[in-house]
Each structure stands twice: as structure tokens, then as C-alpha cells.
């Protein structure tokens, strides 16, 4: 188990990607989900279902020919949902799990009831977006909701059972990690997908027109990297309505995350201070505008509900003084990426190790970066390569660069250091997790158990002890 490897390697932090249900329509990106609360049933462990008597070896049949190093979401879905369906039918004949299931339904009702109905309806209407459903359902008229809840009751219960399995297994994994003194860092995307249970069930918290179509969408303005900016397309929040409601949806979302994670990385933190709003009719992000968020009201309200806010602010890109002010006021650590450290003036570059602060998190790279080996091989200009070699004071090559950056991260004064496994394994561009601004052929890299060797764990442990991080 990966948690055992981390413990053997002396590691105390495990950062994960969002684990919500994803869609092949957006390349199975974990940042494009049908729910900000639900878990992805494809992550349910089949071996655990067998141990608990939900399925038998005969139910499983032969495993499909999975590629051990690349995720095949479609093949996995065909296999997993067949097995999960059998587990559901067997569960209905069992009695010893009913109390735990009922407890889960009660505790999760505020999001689960809408999500399970949303999923059942989406399947019934052939995958159509919720704003294309019959008006009574689109507008959530009480009679229509009650009627369809009865009509699709079996499918709804099945989806609730899948979520029960996911969160029970995840809770057991988190408990196991915590017992080994490992904290899990979750990832909270700032925006949600338009075609999601969240927007369908809470339309007043998003800027939509009378037909429930987005009036404005998210993005970032033109910059050095893109003369037209980036048009993400998510519906933007109606923060006035959210504030008037006492930030209840966000409080529940944060409570949900802090139940299943020990810390939370808040994606695109800049957007919690002010966000780039683009009219939905635009084809690029050029004609957008900055809209302020009631940020102090928001975080003050969260602090009234939670004694502490174990948040890591994703503060990459151009960060203005007002964002820095918010981070300083609440003590949120930001992120430093070594892949960004070797361009421009190295003396003043904020990502260079000698400019790091204690209250930050240092990474070699993130899921949006190339691997360190791939970065050195393919992404750096000749001048940047010279800067890396000059700064480290020795010759480097593609085989040594990942290890050198890991050492730099470990010796940083940053309170936390997080290293992608691809870098610990010295892998190249073939192991890159995501290329921003592309939709497909991402999120597919898989690590195989044979790569987690005792030798690697010992190497990581020794370096962790050397730099006082054990």
C-alpha cells in the first residue's frame, strides 16, 4: 500500500488530486466533475468488496487487459460498474450493513439526495445537460422532483450505495494514514462545472439567466503566456447571494473537505479575492472584467465555523497586493515551484530557494508541470538551462536533474516540501500528468507497485532526515 511506502520513507504529507466523479467529455479531468461533494466510484477497491462479502471471485470474472502504466477510464468503467452493480444487488439481501448505510444517508443528505437524483436523471435523459431537461426538472419544481424520485428510486438508491462504499473506504484509508502520522492534503477546485449537481440544485448561487444558462463564465485575462487569456467556461458565483445566505453552501463544502482531508489546497486562490468574469457569449477571455469577492466576510465566517483553516493557497501566476494581504491576514501558506525558478533575474525570482519564506510549500513541480526530467529535456530554453547549472554550481543532465531539484526542495526553509512521485522515480515526459489548455490524453499516468521499492524508500528517508524533515 502506498501509505506504508510513505511511512517507510519518513513522509508525513500525501497530496492528492480531486477525487470527484469525472467525465470523458472533458478528458476525465478531476477538475471537471458532476459534483463538488461526491466521490468517483471508479476508485472503489474491488478487493475490499470481496473481503466484506459484497462480491465473490465468481462475480469478478477475469480482469480486463488493463495497461499497468496508463489509466483506461472507459475500460475501468465497464468493469467496475458491472461489479458494483452486483455488489448492490447482494447488499440488498444483507442486513448487517444497513445501520451504517442509513447513518451515511442521514449525514450526507444535504448533497447526496440531489446528486443521486441528478445522476439518475442524467442517465435517463441520455447524458443531456440538466438545463436541457423538461422545464419542471430544470427548474426543480416540487411535483416534478417527487415524481422522478419515485420513478427512478432504484437507480437513485444504487448511486447512494456507490457513494457509501467510496466514502467508507476513503475514511478507512484516511484513518490508516493518520495512524501512521501521514496527513492527506486534498484539492478544492475554486469553480464547479455547469453540468453538475451543485449548479442544478443551487442555481441562485451562480450567475444564470431565466433559462438557467450562464450569464458569465470564468477565466483569466490576457497575459505574457496568452494574448487572448484563458476561457475556462465554468459559471461564476453570485457572491452577493452567497453572502446573503450566510455562505452556507461554502461552509458545507469546506466542512465536507475537512472531514475527508487534513489540509486543503484551495485552487486559484486569487479568485477568492477578485475573479475575471467574462460574458458567456464571448469566444475568448479578452473582454472580461475583475469582480471583487467579499473575501474577508467569507473567511471570517469560515473561522466562526472552524477553529482553524488548514488551507494552502494556490497563489501561482501574477498575484496582486490584495491577494498577499488576505494570505498574510489569515496565515495561509502559498506555493513555490522550482520549475519556475530559473527564468528572469535569479536574484529576485520568488521561486528561487534563497527567496523562500518559512510559511510556504515548496514543490519541484505540480500536476500541471512536466516531470522534472521532462522539463529539463523539453521545456527549458538554453539560457534557462545555463541558469539552472549556474545556480546549482555543477553540470547536470536529464538523469540527475530530478534528484538535484528534490534536494533543493528538501533544503529549502519552506515549512512543507512536496515531491511528485514521478520525480522520485526519475521519469520523463511520458509520465506527465496534465498539460494545461489541452483536453485529452491527460490524467492517465499510473504508478505500479513494483516501483515502490525498499531501496527508494530508504533513499527518501535518508534525505528527509538529513534536512530535518523526518
368: annotated active-site residue:
yes
Asked if 89 contacts 81 with a C-beta cutoff of 8 angstroms, the reply is no
Catalytic residue of the set 4, 72, 113, 368: 368
Rounded to whole angstroms, the Cα distance separating 310 from 461 reads 25
Evaluated on CA atoms 38, 39, 41, 44, the torsion sign reads negative
Grouping H, G, I as helix, E, B as strand and the rest as coil, residue 135 is helix
Asked if 207 contacts 236 with a C-beta cutoff of 8 angstroms, the reply is yes
59: annotated active-site residue:
no
Catalytic residue of the set 314, 315, 404, 444: 314
Rounded to whole angstroms, the Cα distance separating 327 from 321 reads 10
Rounded to whole angstroms, the Cα distance separating 12 from 407 reads 17
Which residues is 188 bridged to in the sheet?
266
Rounded to whole angstroms, the Cα distance separating 242 from 293 reads 10
Which residues is 214 bridged to in the sheet?
208
Per-residue exposure over 281-311, b if at least 16 CB sit within 10 Å of its own CB, e if not = ebeebeebeeeebebeebbebbeeeeeebeb
* Integer Rg of the chain from CA: 23
Backbone dihedral angles phi then psi of residue 291, each to the nearest 5 degrees: -125, 125
Asked if 235 contacts 206 with a C-beta cutoff of 8 angstroms, the reply is yes
Evaluated on CA atoms 403, 407, 410, 412, the torsion sign reads negative
Catalytic residue of the set 198, 267, 315, 444: 267
Catalytic residues: 267, 314, 368
Amino acid at each position: 500500500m502506498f501509505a506504508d511506502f510513505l511511512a517507510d520513507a519518513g513522509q508525513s504529507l500525501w497530496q492528492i488530486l480531486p477525487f470527484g466523479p469525472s467525465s470523458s467529455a472533458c478528458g476525465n479531468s478531476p477538475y471537471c466533475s458532476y459534483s463538488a461533494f461526491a466521490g468517483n466510484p471508479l476508485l472503489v477497491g474491488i478487493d475490499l468488496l470481496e473481503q466484506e462479502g459484497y462480491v465473490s471471485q465468481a462475480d469478478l470474472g477475469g480482469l480486463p487487459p488493463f495497461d499497468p502504466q496508463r489509466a483506461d477510464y472507459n475500460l475501468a468503467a465497464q468493469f467496475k460498474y458491472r461489479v458494483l452493480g452486483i455488489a448492490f444487488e447482494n447488499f440488498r439481501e444483507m442486513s448487517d450493513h444497513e445501520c451504517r448505510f442509513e447513518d451515511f444517508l442521514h449525514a450526507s443528505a444535504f448533497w447526496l439526495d440531489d446528486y443521486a437524483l441528478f445522476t439518475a436523471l442524467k442517465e435517463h435523459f441520455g447524458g443531456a445537460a440538466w438545463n436541457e431537461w423538461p422545464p419542471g426538472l430544470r427548474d426543480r419544481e416540487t411535483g416534478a422532483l417527487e415524481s422522478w424520485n419515485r420513478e427512478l428510486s432504484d437507480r437513485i438508491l444504487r448511486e447512494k450505495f456507490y457513494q457509501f462504499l467510496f466514502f467508507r473506504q476513503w475514511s478507512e484509508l484516511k484513518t490508516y494514514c493518520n495512524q501512521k502520522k501521514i496527513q492527506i492534503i486534498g484539492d478544492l477546485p475554486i469553480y464547479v462545472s455547469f453540468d453538475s449537481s451543485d449548479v442544478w440544485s443551487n442555481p441562485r448561487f451562480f450567475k444564470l439567466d431565466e433559462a438557467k444558462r450562464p450569464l458569465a463564465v470564468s477565466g483569466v485575462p490576457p497575459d505574457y503566456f496568452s494574448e487572448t487569456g484563458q476561457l475556462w467556461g465554468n459559471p461564476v458565483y453570485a457572491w452577493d447571494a452567497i453572502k446573503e445566505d450566510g455562505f452556507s453552501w461554502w461552509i458545507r463544502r469546506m466542512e465536507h473537505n475537512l472531514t475527508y482531508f487534513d489540509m486543503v489546497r484551495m485552487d486559484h486562490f486569487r479568485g477568492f479575492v477578485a475573479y475575471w468574469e467574462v460574458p458567456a457569449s464571448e469566444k475568448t477571455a479578452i473582454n472580461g472584467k475583475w469582480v471583487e469577492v467579499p473575501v474577508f466576510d467569507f473567511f471570517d465566517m469560515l473561522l466562526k465555523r472552524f477553529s482553524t483553516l488548514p488551507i494552502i493557497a494556490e497563489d501561482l501566476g501574477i498575484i496582486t497586493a490584495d491577494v498577499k494581504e488576505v494570505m498574510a491576514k489569515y496565515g495561509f501558506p502559498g506555493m513555490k515551484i522550482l520549475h519556475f525558478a530559473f527564468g528572469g533575474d535569479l536574484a529576485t525570482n520568488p521561486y528561487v530557494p534563497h527567496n523562500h519564506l518559512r510559511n510556504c510549500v515548496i514543490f519541484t513541480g505540480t500536476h500541471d508541470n512536466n516531470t522534472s526530467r521532462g522539463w529539463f529535456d523539453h521545456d527549458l530554453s538554453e539560457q534557462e538551462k545555463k541558469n539552472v547549472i549556474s545556480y546549482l554550481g555543477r553540470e547536470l543532465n536529464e538523469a540527475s536533474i530530478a534528484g538535484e531539484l528534490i534536494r533543493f526542495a528538501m533544503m529549502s526553509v519552506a515549512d512543507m516540501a512536496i515531491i511528485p512521485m514521478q520525480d522520485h522515480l526519475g521519469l520523463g515526459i511520458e509520465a506527465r500528468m496534465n498539460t494545461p489548455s489541452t483536453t485529452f490524453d491527460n490524467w492517465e499516468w499510473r504508478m505500479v507497485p513494483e516501483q515502490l521499492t525498499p531501496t527508494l524508500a530508504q533513499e527518501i528517508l535518508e534525505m528527509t532526515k538529513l534536512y530535518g524533515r523526518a
